[in-house]
Amino acid sequence: MRGRAAAVVTAVVLLAAAAVGCSGGDDKADQGGGSPDAMPELTPAPAELEEELAAAIDKARACDWLDESECMFPFPSSRFETDNPKTPTRRKLEFERGALPTNTKGVVVKDTAWKRLDGWGVGTPIMTTIAGVDPEGSNFPSEADPASSLEKGSGTVIVDMTTGERVAHWAELDARPEIAEADRTTVLLHPLTMLEPGHRYAVGIAQPVDGSGKPIAVSNGFRVIRDRLQTGIGPVEQRRARLDQNVNALAKAGLARADQWLAWDFTVMSDKIVTGGLITMRDQAFAKLGDAAPAFSVTEVLSTTDDGGPLPEGVARRIRGTYQVPSFLAGDASPGRLMIRDTDDDPLLSGLEYTAEFTCSLTAAQLAGTAGARPVVYGHGLLGSARESERGDLGLAAANLMPCATNWIGMSEADIGSAVAALGDINLFPSNVDRLMQSVINQLFLARLMTHPDGFVAAPEFRTASGGASFDTSEVFYEGHSQGGIMGIVATAVSTEWTKAVIGVPGVDYSLLIPRSNNWQKYGPVIAGGYDRPVDGLLILALLQQLWDQAEGSGFARHLTTNTLSGTPEHQVIIQVALGDHQVANVSAEIAARTAGVPIRMPAVEDPGSGRVEPPFGMDSVKAGENATSLLIYWDAGTLPAPLGGISPDMAEPWISECEPGSAGDKTVANAACADPHEFPRRTPDAQRQRNEFFATGIINDVCGPDPCRTEPRNG
Least confident of 20-34, 52-66, 119-133: 20-34
What are the residue ranges of helices labelled H in 300-377?
364-368
What does the pLDDT read at residue 218?
98
For 191, phi then psi, to 5°, come to -65, 155
Confidence tier at 40 by pLDDT (50, 70, 90)? confident
Cα distance between residue 589 and residue 677, in whole Å: 15
Write down the mean pLDDT value for the chain.
92
Q: What percent of the chain has pLDDT over 70?
A: 93
pLDDT tens profile 532-573: 999 999 999 999 999 999 999 999 999 999 999 999 999 999
Q: Is 35 exposed, middle or buried (0-12, 13-18, 19+ CB in 10 A)?
A: exposed
Ramachandran sector of residue 240 (left: φ over 0; alpha: ψ -120 to 50; beta: rest): alpha
What's the whole-model pTM score?
A: 0.93
| 3-class SS of residue 365 | helix
Cα distance between residue 528 and residue 424, in whole Å: 8
What does the pLDDT read at residue 716?
36
Confidence tier at 454 by pLDDT (50, 70, 90)? very high
Least confident of 182-186, 557-561, 667-671, 699-703: 667-671
**285: closest CA among 334, 352, 343, 349?**
349
pLDDT tens profile 586-599: 999 999 999 999 99
More confident: 610 or 268: 268
What does the pLDDT read at residue 660?
64
Q: What percent of the chain has pLDDT over 90?
A: 85
Confidence tier at 26 by pLDDT (50, 70, 90)? very low
pLDDT tens profile 294-351: 999 999 999 888 888 899 989 999 999 999 999 999 999 999 999 999 999 999 999 9
DSSP string, 245-313: HHHHHHHHTT--GGGEEEEEEEEBPPHHHHTHHHHHHHHHHHHHHTTSPPPEEEEEEESB-TTSPBPPT
Cα distance between residue 543 and residue 546, in whole Å: 6
Confidence tier at 672 by pLDDT (50, 70, 90)? confident
What does the pLDDT read at residue 307?
83
**354: closest CA among 385, 319, 384, 330?**
330
What does the pLDDT read at residue 27?
44
Average pLDDT score over residue span 52-66:
96
* 533: CB partners within 8 A, 6+ apart: none
> What letter would DSSP give residue 79?
G
Average pLDDT score over residue span 242-249:
98
Say yes or no to pLDDT of 292 above 60.
Answer: yes
Confidence tier at 200 by pLDDT (50, 70, 90)? very high
More confident: 74 or 652: 74
What does the pLDDT read at residue 351?
97
| 3-class SS of residue 587 | helix
What does the pLDDT read at residue 19?
38
Cα four-point dihedral sign 186, 192, 195, 199: negative
Average pLDDT score over residue span 501-507:
98
> What letter would DSSP give residue 439?
H
DSSP string, 653-716: HHHHHHS-TT--TTHHHH-GGGS--TTHHHH-HHHHHHHHHHHHHS-----STTSPEE-SS---
Q: What ranges make up the beta strands (E) of 492-533?
A: 500-504
Average pLDDT score over residue span 2-16:
37
What does the pLDDT read at residue 609?
81
Confidence tier at 661 by pLDDT (50, 70, 90)? low
More confident: 576 or 304: 576
Average pLDDT score over residue span 4-12:
37
What does the pLDDT read at residue 34?
44
CA atoms in the 13 A half-sphere facing the CB of 601: 30
Number of H helices, E strands in the chain: 18, 23
**558: closest CA among 598, 589, 527?**
598
What does the pLDDT read at residue 10?
37
> What letter would DSSP give residue 345?
S
| 3-class SS of residue 70 | coil
Cα distance between residue 622 and residue 456, in whole Å: 39
